[in-house]
Structure 1
Amino acid sequence: MIQSLVWFRQDLRIEDHCALWHARQQGNCIAVVILSPEQWKMHDDAQVKIDFYLRQLTVLKQQLDVLNIPLIIETIPLWQDVPLFLQHVTEQYNIHSVHANIEAGVNELKRDHAVQAILNRLDKELVLYHDRTIFPLGSIRNKSEQPYQVFGAFKKTCYERLSVALPQCFPTIESQSAALKLKSPTQIPSMSELGFEPVNTSMQTLWPVGQGIVQQQLDDFIEQQLYDYHQGRDFPAQTGTSKLSAYLNIGILSIRQCLQALFRHQQHHFIIEHQGQQTWLDELLWREFYQHLLFDYPELSRHQPFKKNTKKIVWRNAHDDFQAWTQGRTGIPIVDAGMRELTATGWMHNRVRMICAMFLSKNLLIDWRKGEQWFMQHLIDGDLAANNGGWQWSASTGTDAVPYFRVFNPISQSKKFDPDAIYLKKWLPELADLNTTEAHEPYAKNPNLNIDYPKAIVDLKQSRLRVIDVFKSL
């Protein structure tokens, strides 16, 4: 007899899965995944991210088969039609409860409220769990019971709670006694069947799927890179970051698994022994901070700046400049290298993301929302909360953002964090024959240099003064 339905969303794993574990405690269950291509397009999800999702979905289906848990895969273009579909499934299989993990975006919450309403009318229920974050959304509050707007204070409260107890992973799910038969077997559609262009195999090779592969990547990072993480993470030519963000984003890996691995050598107690460990924890907490902000301030899901006075900024309507930025043809090597890395791999080094974002929003004075959208359309780890948070930080429109008068000089950043121009020359082959100094500023000492690389589309000093004046006028 089927007792419950597990609704997988951005959590395609069977290990340490909150909703799946609770559903199995009630008895036998079946699972469902709903593919919504038109909704994904509205949310600007990258094709490489969707391909990544579908490849992991194949793995999830195989894992559930081993557990004798049948998986329904349904394509429903828009979320507005999801409630009626789930009503039909619960009636068809006489299911009384649907279990799922909470998602923080406005459209996601609206969808879940509609599902909850239609199930409640049938004396059924949608049970939601906090699985994507370390702490339940809405639970980190200041002394006035208000959400934190400053990361430092938010982090301090998180540290205090983690010192009491680290969150534990859920036990491994046991196989159901017998395979349950669905009335109609379902298949995983291809990218083209969903209305997307196929992703080339070279891109897929960069991002393998499967719990075992990801767990090994996490273990390797902890053992080999964590100790020096605070130093190596800012240098894009080095293997200094974990590159786990894509796996966290679609839930191949859980945040609890990351914390357990981070404190493995401390017997899973909250003891910070070195700076690399603390720096990575702080990065995980920045992710946490942005998830909580998205939940507490719905306007962030509606393309609104957190600082209301910045709505008055008159952004430049500079189509050619924006196109140069997207194509990696701005004449600023570190910016162009980052944008080309994004196009080629579906990912960009975090330090370079900040440089590219600040260059667009401040030096070019182009609306940060255009850059936010472009990143979402190309990032394999595109996450609304983190992407929005990063862009609003760089543009000085967000909570606890960089002060408006602080404008990264991309040339200085390039020289500091890619001193040998290794990253630059990897992504900008037209600079390969230049010496290190020339690679950072190709035309600085030789304006007539004959190479196939554009001159800078903006004067860095003048554009810095321009954006400072714009913010001062607010």
Structure 2
Amino acid sequence: MQLIWLRSDLRLHDNTALSAAAARGPSVAVYLLSPEQWLEHDDAPCKVDFWLRNLGELSLALGKLNIPLLIRTASRWDAAPKVLLDLCRELKIDAVHVNEEYGIHESRRDEAVAQTLKAEGIDFYSYLDQLLFSPGTVLTKTGTYFQVFSQFRKVCYDRLRRSLPELVSAPGIQAPLKISSDEIPARVEGFDTPKDSLIALWPAGEAEARRRLDTFADAQIDYYQSERDFPAKPGTSQLSAYLAAGVISPRQCLHTALQSNQGEFESGKVGAVTWINELLWREFYKHILVGYPRVSRHRAFRPETEALAWRDAPDELAAWQEARTGLPIIDAAMRQLLETGWMHNRLRMVVAMFLTKNLLIDWREGERFFMRHLIDGDLAANNGGWQWSSSTGTDSAPYFRIFNPLSQSEKFDAEGVFIKHWLPELAGLNKKEVHNPANVGGLFGIADYPSPIVNLSTSRQRALAAFKNLPSRQAAGGGYE
């Protein structure tokens, strides 16, 4: 008997471990609930709810193939070896199959499980699945992990041209086993159920993920490059939550994008090329996680930036978290996150730079807050994005590159449509005033809307000074976008 241990791969189609197990013989699937570990990793309640809902859909799909889905609890991952060994003994399992995961805690967990099982004569197989290339196979000429995305991407393109990763066939129907599937819990202790309005935005299941991918490829990918930076437009694929939970695979995304672009990576439709680029950024940050494990340990990628004089400013941090900074584009973006579990990518950069540069608050505070609210929370992508914005990461924005929230707002939400949707108290302002209500409020400001908590110009100078004082700083320059 084969056991598939499901993790961030909650799908039937193009699932490497699932198909490999089923090809070897009768198979059973298991999912471990690990609430203490999830809390420690700052997983959002809406993300845990999304996992559970997707498990429910997957259980139905597996049931049609006579593959039971069992639920076990290993509250922390160090309990996983014993829990899985007990299950293997109970079911007389010959081999356990998993798709690789890449955080340092995930790697240690899998090594411990593999050792425990092998000591009992149970095989442990792990497969490349959530990436296009195994970490350690895309390296510089000197054999090190890339630190610059454009160089990493070039090697990926060369490899993809020679050999495109193939999609894996879904398993067939197996003979029924005398094992019943377990009921999927509706909630897990420690994680509140999100509002119905949030749940409705993110329907569970492969069919929904596939529908989103196909709709994007058919109707939107051509405009992706020109519209993806405008938060009021439906310019993005809205697939990140499904990718993070493995409800759809990067291979499926890549194949669909290439189909829409006659098989081209770097020519043809600029929208498709740009979107494939984003898939490779996702890949890049996961390779960074493996090549530079310090980023899994809440450390800066660039060690010299650990000496930055971050400010301890709890009131300003709370204002940022609660969407009351007095800067409409920041507050609208934060409300979008709090209400939907998701934030537009351009705005993730804008709010991150505001926190780390204008407020000079440690990027780790922002990283943690995002993880606690994002339905698509992913350690590699979230850490990569925060360290990019705060100029502490790999291939990051130079420290003197500081987004100006007002000019970003005027450029990417010129009519104020996004701002007014999330900040209805500003609906009465015209498209010029809405970006900076402090200019129009006179002595008392706009009713129900706060004054800015920081002066953008002086706070920018403060950030530049803090970075210039680092032991090893980048070449000086200017630029306030």
TM-score range, shorter chain: over 0.9
Unaligned runs of 5+ in 2: 471-481
Q: Any conservation in 1 of the 2:261–2:272 contact (CA below 8 Å)?
A: no
* Cross-structure match for 1:280: 275
Distance in 2 of aligned mates of 1:288 and 1:339: 26
What is the CA distance between 1:172 and its match in structure 2? 2.4
1:135/1:12 Cα in 2 relative to 1: closer, same or farther (>3 Å)?
Answer: same
* Cross-structure match for 1:335: 330
Map of 1:57-456 to 2, 5 A cutoff? 57-176=55-174, 178-182=175-179, 186-191=182-187, 193-265=188-260, 268=263, 270=265, 272-448=267-443, 449-456=445-452
Distance in 2 of aligned mates of 1:346 and 1:103: 23
What is the CA distance between 1:277 and its match in structure 2? 1.0
Q: Any conservation in 1 of the 2:104–2:293 contact (CA below 8 Å)?
A: yes
Give the aligned residue type for 2:462: R
Q: Which runs of 4+ in 1 moved over 4 A?
A: 266-271
Q: Any conservation in 1 of the 2:23–2:171 contact (CA below 8 Å)?
A: no
Distance in 1 of aligned mates of 2:195 and 2:47: 13
What is the CA distance between 1:117 and its match in structure 2? 0.8
What is the CA distance between 1:314 and its match in structure 2? 1.7
TM-score (norm: length of structure 2): 0.96
Deviates more, 1:447-456 or 1:254-263: 447-456
SS at match of 1:67: coil
Distance in 1 of aligned mates of 2:132 and 2:377: 20
Give the aligned residue type for 2:165: P
Distance in 2 of aligned mates of 1:172 and 1:268: 24
What is the CA deviation profile of residues 313-352 of structure 1, one whole-angstrom value per residue up to 9, with x for unaligned ones?
1211100000000010001111000000000100000000
* Cross-structure match for 2:454: 458
Distance in 2 of aligned mates of 1:71 and 1:8: 9
What is the CA distance between 1:274 and its match in structure 2? 1.6
Distance in 1 of aligned mates of 2:64 and 2:218: 31
Distance in 1 of aligned mates of 2:336 and 2:264: 38
What is the CA distance between 1:451 and its match in structure 2? 1.8
What is the CA distance between 1:31 and its match in structure 2? 0.7
Distance in 2 of aligned mates of 1:373 and 1:99: 31
Q: Any conservation in 2 of the 1:119–1:125 contact (CA below 8 Å)?
A: yes
Q: Any conservation in 2 of the 1:24–1:173 contact (CA below 8 Å)?
A: yes
Q: Any conservation in 2 of the 1:138–1:147 contact (CA below 8 Å)?
A: yes
1:267/1:276 Cα in 2 relative to 1: closer, same or farther (>3 Å)?
Answer: closer
Give the aligned residue type for 2:21: A
Distance in 2 of aligned mates of 1:121 and 1:71: 25
Q: Any conservation in 2 of the 1:101–1:131 contact (CA below 8 Å)?
A: yes
1:175/1:305 Cα in 2 relative to 1: closer, same or farther (>3 Å)?
Answer: same
What is the CA distance between 1:89 and its match in structure 2? 1.4
What is the CA deviation profile of residues 119-178 of structure 1, one whole-angstrom value per residue up to 9, with x for unaligned ones?
1111222111110111112110010111000001001101111111221110121110x2
Distance in 2 of aligned mates of 1:225 and 1:447: 43
RMSD of aligned alpha carbons: 1.2
What is the CA deviation profile of residues 23-60 of structure 1, one whole-angstrom value per residue up to 9, with x for unaligned ones?
11211111110011111000000000000110000001
What is the CA distance between 1:450 and its match in structure 2? 3.8
Distance in 1 of aligned mates of 2:80 and 2:399: 43
Distance in 1 of aligned mates of 2:406 and 2:268: 35
1:41/1:424 Cα in 2 relative to 1: closer, same or farther (>3 Å)?
Answer: same
SS at match of 1:32: strand
Q: Any conservation in 2 of the 1:165–1:270 contact (CA below 8 Å)?
A: no
1:108/1:450 Cα in 2 relative to 1: closer, same or farther (>3 Å)?
Answer: closer
Give the aligned residue type for 2:322: Q
Q: Any conservation in 1 of the 2:139–2:145 contact (CA below 8 Å)?
A: yes
SS at match of 2:398: coil
Q: Any conservation in 2 of the 1:165–1:269 contact (CA below 8 Å)?
A: no
Share of identical aligned residues, percent? 49
Task: Indicate whether 1:42 and 2:40 are aligned.
Answer: yes
Give the aligned residue type for 1:113: E
Distance in 1 of aligned mates of 2:379 and 2:368: 10
Distance in 2 of aligned mates of 1:44 and 1:265: 37
Give the aligned residue type for 2:68: P
Give the aligned residue type for 1:174: G
SS at match of 2:432: helix
Give the aligned residue type for 2:185: P
What is the CA distance between 1:269 and its match in structure 2? 6.2
1:408/1:21 Cα in 2 relative to 1: closer, same or farther (>3 Å)?
Answer: same
Distance in 1 of aligned mates of 2:223 and 2:31: 39
Q: Any conservation in 2 of the 1:74–1:186 contact (CA below 8 Å)?
A: no
Q: Any conservation in 1 of the 2:59–2:181 contact (CA below 8 Å)?
A: no
SS at match of 1:436: coil
Q: Any conservation in 1 of the 2:389–2:397 contact (CA below 8 Å)?
A: yes
Q: How many residues get paired?
A: 469
SS at match of 1:111: helix
Distance in 2 of aligned mates of 1:428 and 1:69: 48
Unaligned runs of 5+ in 1: none
Q: Any conservation in 2 of the 1:18–1:131 contact (CA below 8 Å)?
A: yes
Q: Any conservation in 1 of the 2:224–2:272 contact (CA below 8 Å)?
A: yes
Give the aligned residue type for 2:57: V
